Amino acid sequence: MKYLLTEQTAGIGIITINRPDSLNAMNASVVTELSTAVSNMIADDDIGVIIITGSGEKAFVAGADIKAMQQMDAEGALKFGKAGQNMTLVIENSPKPVIAAVNGFALGGGCEISLACHFRIASDNAVFGQPEVLLGLIPGWGGTQRLPKIVGTGIANELITTGKQITAEEAHRIGLVNQVTTQEELLDTCKAVGQKILKNSPNAIANSLKCIYESFDKSIADGMEVEVAAFANLFNTEETKEGLTAFVEKRKANFRK
């Protein structure tokens, strides 16, 4: 791939967006490559957790490629917007947890990519923002939809309508970021979280994520119907039998054989 670096280590797939000359800004090619890379890792049975990060120490993704956007008409913008939205849906709908290792600027489309990940761990120099209104635009890759669900409507309204940028510490305070670490420790911290996840049942993880995301806009009662069906169906799987048996036998379960 031209704009991505990929690697696999101990069950964890790492995708690095690699356009350091433009602070890892997203153009149409990067969007396509990222969608493909995530899909490939979802299909790889040797990978149980995916980490997305940016190259260098300045930016996760500083946004979409503004020079490319300047040349777009409404039709081109619609195509670009839908491609970006589809990319974020591939990330969000992954049955394997996707962690955003945010190592600097996560602005505009970069913030939206991080929002699509299942959670975010940031370096202490990370900066988040949806500054599209400063350009006469709005977020187009799900920012108006996901940000309110993560931080609440009031805070999302403020961030989107002011276009202001916030520090990693502020992002952590409002619940946008799960934890903050140093730049040097960021990737190792994400890998450590990934290793905790890898000890658990892949089926249970995938079903947990499915219940959380499919039921977000449902009533509690309707969401619990989705949950109890998934709960019951797991009793037909070898992983659940292994987990319950291991507990009774007082040993560690072996889910990933």
Of 33, 57, 75, 112, catalytic: 112
Superfamily of domain 4-198: 2-enoyl-CoA Hydratase; Chain A, domain 1 (3.90.226.10)
* 112 in catalytic set: yes
Of 33, 132, 227, 239, catalytic: 132
Cα-Cα-Cα-Cα dihedral sign, residues 18, 24, 29, 34: positive
CA–CA distance, 203 with 238 (Å, rounded to integer):
10
Whether residue 4 contacts residue 40, with contact meaning beta carbons closer than 8 Å, is answered with no
pLDDT at 217: 86
Query: Tens of pLDDT along the chain (257 residues)?
Result: 799 999 999 999 999 999 998 999 999 999 999 999 999 999 999 999 999 999 999 999 999 888 899 999 999 999 999 999 999 999 999 999 999 999 999 999 999 999 999 999 999 999 999 999 999 999 999 999 999 999 999 999 999 999 999 999 999 999 999 999 999 999 999 999 999 999 999 999 999 999 999 888 899 999 999 999 999 999 999 999 999 999 999 999 999 87
CATH of domain 202-248: 1.10.12
* 132 in catalytic set: yes
Cα end-to-end distance, the chain, whole Å: 30
Which sequence spans correspond to the domains of the chain?
4-198, 202-248
CA–CA distance, 124 with 18 (Å, rounded to integer):
21
- Do the domains at 4-198 and 202-248 have one common CATH topology? no
H and E: helices and strands count for the chain: 11, 10
